[in-house]
Amino acid sequence: MREITKGYWFVAVQDVLKPDVWKSCLPAWEQYVASSKGICNPIYFGPPAATFESGISKTMAIVEFPSLEQAANIRAEDKAYNPGMIEADGTSVENKVIRDFRITDIPSGWMKPGHGYWIVWVREIKDKESLAKVMPVWEEYVASGACIVHHLRPPHAIYEDGRMLPLAICEFPSLQAAIDARNSKEYNQDVIGAAGKPVEEIATRDFRIIEAPNTN
């Protein structure tokens, strides 16, 4: 059976420059989603449950589209979204909010209600040699059944403050399992520790953990 791949926006708010103005644009977002008739489907919208490293407890959005092409084209060409929604107040989006905005594709059905997820936007790679030491141990960690990796590569496209650097999406049986794994000796000492230096000296990562919402 052929695997169905869908397009996604992964958006991590870094800072809100004008909170009142940005908040005033949100009703336009809700109207946009409703008018899309299911094409634009926010499967997560809100702050994370936990953050690590350079993670920020600000709004993140994961928006699903029927295909990568639609996800890319809507952000690039749909006037109802840009300028219609994000410039509803008449000013550019960068005037109101700083967002790491990435577009990619993933086989559908990856987000399961009640499961925990690491969603990690790599913002900068500082030491490629140390990162290369970590990767073989990370692959062993994943092979042991510690988590399911749905995505670990750069996105298809970026906007605003997005970076053409890896986006990681890792699944755990529950939110608590995801948090416990990030705090575990196996991850911190065995995986990250393989580099011989703190993770912050290897890369800057906006590391957020969420619980997939119940869609019922």
Give the domain ranges of the chain. Answer: 5-211
Instruction: Spell out, as residue ranges, where the chain has pLDDT lower than 70.
Output: 1-2, 215-216
Of 61, 203, 186, 52, residue with least CA distance to 118: 52
pLDDT score for 159: 97
Q: Count the Cβ atoms, other than its own, within 10 Å of residue 214.
A: 7
Which pLDDT tens digit goes with each residue over 43-98? Answer: 999 999 999 999 999 999 999 999 999 999 999 998 888 877 888 788 889 999 99
Residue 78 backbone phi and psi in degrees, to 5: -75, 110
pLDDT score for 103: 98
pLDDT score for 212: 97
pLDDT score for 44: 97
5-211 classified as CATH 3.30.70.100 = yes
pLDDT score for 216: 52
pLDDT score for 2: 63
Of 198, 165, 214, residue with least CA distance to 12: 165
pLDDT score for 125: 97
Q: What is the pTM of this model?
A: 0.95
3-state DSSP assignment of residue 144? coil
Residue 63 is encoded by which pair of tokens? 């928006």
Report the run of H or E that residue 148 belongs to, with start and end.
strand 148-153
